[in-house]
């Protein structure tokens, strides 16, 4: 009876024993966490920016969107990119770049440009009550989110 209980206990705890922070898992954890925070902050900002008239205080929503992108999204992008660069230099040579790495870098850098434009439009919409700029910032946010979903797919599927 003791042997069966011992075997069951080791099967239950075995997956937990495999989790440890070694050389490459910590930067991978940071990269994935920052990417999730980034996408969540942009999604929250998009919802706030694209809220139709009559559905709440639009000035408060625009300020929320701007502050979310500035104080959550921008630092999350910096951590995501820095930890991704850290991972890259630990795992790859400059000659052996898989396709999914190219997709990740292109969407991260191109997404930053669109993200910063959306951030500027959201700032302008929050300070001057410009509804068209809020809509433009929201649409840019949707485009950036779509590109980053492609990057998440590429990082997960790792196509050749």
Nearest partner of 117 among 42, 32, 34, 37, judged by Cα: 42
pTM: 0.81
**What is the structure's pLDDT at 24?**
59
DSSP at 18: T
**What is the structure's pLDDT at 159?**
79
Residues in CB range of 25: below 8 A, 6 or more apart: none
**What is the structure's pLDDT at 54?**
72
Instruction: Please count the residues of the chain.
Output: 160
Nearest partner of 62 among 39, 46, 43, 38, judged by Cα: 46
Angle between helices 99-128 and 74-91 (to 10 degrees): 170
Which helix (H) or strand (E) covers residue 26, if one does?
helix 25-49
Q: What residues in the chain have per-residue pLDDT under 70?
A: 1-24, 94
Residue pointed to by tokens 């630990």: 90
Q: Which tens digits make up the pLDDT trace of 11-57? A: 455 454 445 545 558 888 999 999 999 999 999 999 999 988 777 78
């Amino acid at each position: 009876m003791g042997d069966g209980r011992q075997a069951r206990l080791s099967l239950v705890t075995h997956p937990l024993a495999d989790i440890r922070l070694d050389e490459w898992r910590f930067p991978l954890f940071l990269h994935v966490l920052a990417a999730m925070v980034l996408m969540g902050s942009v999604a929250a900002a998009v919802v706030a920016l694209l809220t139709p008239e009559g559905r709440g205080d639009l000035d408060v929503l625009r300020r929320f969107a701007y502050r979310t992108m500035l104080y959550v999204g921008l630092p999350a992008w910096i951590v995501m990119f820095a930890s991704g660069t850290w991972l890259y230099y630990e795992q790859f040579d400059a000659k052996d770049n898989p396709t999914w790495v190219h997709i990740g870098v292109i969407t991260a850098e191109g997404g930053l440009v669109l993200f910063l434009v959306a951030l500027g439009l959201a700032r302008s919409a929050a300070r001057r009550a410009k509804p068209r700029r809020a809509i433009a910032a929201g649409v840019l946010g949707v485009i950036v989110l779509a590109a980053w979903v492609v990057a998440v797919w590429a990082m997960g599927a790792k196509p050749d």
